A and B are shown apart, each in its own frame.
Chain A
Amino acid sequence: MHDIVLECRGVSKRFGDHAVLHDVNLKIARGQIVSLVGPSGCGKSTLLRAILGTHPPDSGEVLMNGKPITGPGRDRGIVYQRYGLYPFLTARQNVAFGPMLDETNLAYRFFQFPNWLKLRKQHLAGADDMLTRVQMGKALHRYPEELSGGMCQRVAIAQALMMKPEILLLDEPFGALDEATREEMQEMLLKLYAENLAAKAAGKKPPYTILIITHELNEAIYVADRVLGLSQHWRWEDTGGPSHPGATIIYDAVSPVFSKDVEAEAAAFVRQREEMRRVIFEPSERFGRESHTRFWQQCAAGAGVGMMAPIP
């Protein structure tokens, strides 16, 4: 049995007459890095908000570790495309912001000021360590305004990781970055994934579970061990309903952990990308929702990779 961190059960969402999400079902196991791709306007961000708890679904439910979520909580970290850093805090203060909010409250900080100062030192030291891990050790005292896009995104990821969330949600995190920085950030994600694999090999709990939303197919396949496709282009008439009920997950497959240099893997990479383009993005080729959702069958058949690879 897999340790399921996040589960969406029959999640549907409408905005007035506009159906956005239809019966989205999804399970993410601990330690996975999962990409969610889909055409513009298909409801990726709506699904993310439902998982975050800020915009609950109209029907269905989202469960974290088996418990329904009722709102945003510290078990889910979030990194936005536009970084979402607090402009009035320096990089280290941004990263130490979470521990401050999580471990203390206003009354403690006011009435037990000396104790708070001691704790604050620990938080800042922890933040410095985390920033050093994401190669931001030289910009600890800079404000977000003084950082480049890539640096801001590193700080944002450090800020989220500092809280050790059960799942880290990345909302098109590298969309505003240049190609070189984007690749650096992707490598950083793969390093986190390597830590998961090492933890798994050592029989420990893998520390990072990540759901990354992107519209970039190469990125989706490259950084994740599983790719999900959310799309409005599917054969909805099969449901028997009178009108389009909204987007749903129509692609769910293992994404091999690729190494760029191996020719055979490059060919597999291209094959998967073409399949995803056809299934998820091509309006004229509509498939049934079950035809390409094969991830769990692949795992059962021993075709899972990385965290989902069969234990020998």
Chain B
Amino acid sequence: MIRQPISFRAHIALGVVSVVVLLTGYTALSYRQHQRNPSDKTIPNWSQLADGVTRVLKPQDRYDGASWLWTDAKATFTRHFSGLAIGVLVAVVLGLGMGCFTPIEALLLPPLSCLAKIPPTAMLAVFFVLVGTGMELYIAMIAFGVIPTLAQSIYQSARTDVPEELIYKAYTLGASHPELIWNVTFKQILPRIIEAVRLQVGPAMVYLIAAEYAIGDIGFGFRLRMQQRLSDMSTVYIYLAVLAAVGFLMDYSLTWLRRLLCPWFGK
């Protein structure tokens, strides 16, 4: 039957099965490829991948003794968190402002709607000219990519997820306008904001990797570009696995945060 619940144990078992199938499939593919070409690097076998791990963790003189992985992760995730934090902060302020005050909505919604249609990666040249190639460029890329979509999502939530009755009642309880925004609207839509941020984590990483790929001299995007040129897929796959792990961790952290801050949501 549709939506028939299954046990927790069955859930876990099916999840494990899917991962095992994936790894088995990869192993079979790699084996087949190495049967054809024993020195193949495009679908590395497990020992090549182990070499890749050793390589990315090896201390490099060029980076003051730090490994590739550490150096690139530090650069990429600092950029990612900074850009995302600034983007979320600005988007929350704009979204709440538009959702609560019609003049702000009238003022900001048209430009935000237009900006949301421009892919941030296409704006790389503009940012390059405006802010150079430093940290600012990556933050601008992420913020520009995140703000229009996130602000519109928060605006929609502030408009539709807060029933008028709750607003009128807050006024009868003595709320001021700022209290209404903070204590009613923000609290009511907080789980939606966290969900919207969750959905923006992936796109923000896409914008960042694209920028690093194009013009970076350090970071995951840069390393992927360099190793792809050398057809060293053992390093590429290691980096992709790290990106997936961090993405999963961020996703889980945000879900946990939502449960912690909004225990009422979804009950």
Contacts and interface: CB of A to CB of B under 8 A. Distances in A.
Interface in A118-148: 143-146
B168 A88 contact: no
A46 B188 CA distance: 26
Contacts of A106: 176, 178-179, 182
Contact of A82 (B165, B170, B188, B262): B165
Contact of B264 (A76, A88, A159): A88
B174 A98 contact: yes
Contacts of A80: 165, 169
A123 to B, nearest CB: 12
B173 A97 contact: yes
B116 interface: no
B35 interface: no
Contact of A88 (B163, B182, B187): B187
B184 interface: yes
Interface residues of A, number: 31
A74 B182 contact: no
A73 B172 contact: yes
A102 B174 contact: yes
Interface string A54-98: 100000000000000001111011101010101111000000011
Given A88-B262, A105-B179, A76 B188 contact: no
Interface residues of B, number: 26
A72 B165 contact: no
Nearest to B264: A143
A74 B171 CA distance: 7
Contact of B179 (A74, A87, A101): A101
B163 A84 contact: yes
A53, A86, A145, most chain B CB atoms within 10 A = A86
A101 B188 contact: no
Nearest to B180: A101
A77 B169 CA distance: 8
A278 B172 CA distance: 36
B57 interface: no
Nearest to A49: B168
Contacts of B166: 84, 86
Given A74-B174, A86-B184, A102-B174, A52 B168 contact: yes
B267 interface: yes
A285 B170 CA distance: 42
A257 interface: no
Interface in B158-195: 163-166, 168-176, 178-179, 182-184, 187-188, 190
B188 A54 contact: no
A87 B172 contact: no
B228 to A, nearest CB: 48
Given A86-B188, A101-B179, A145-B267, A71 B171 contact: yes
B234 to A, nearest CB: 49
Contact of B183 (A78, A87, A101): A101
A72 B168 contact: yes
Nearest to B165: A84
Contacts of B182: 106
B267 A72 contact: no
A87 B182 CA distance: 15
A299 interface: no
B172 A102 contact: no
B172, B178, B182, B264, most chain A CB atoms within 10 A = B172
A105 B163 contact: no
Contacts of B178: 106
Contacts of A77: 172
Interface of B: 163-166, 168-176, 178-179, 182-184, 187-188, 190, 262-265, 267
Given A101-B170, A101-B173, A163-B173, 8 more contacts: A54-B171, A74-B174, A78-B165, A84-B166, A86-B166, A98-B174, A144-B264, A163-B174
8 contacts: A53-B171, A72-B171, A78-B172, A82-B163, A86-B188, A88-B188, A101-B170, A106-B178
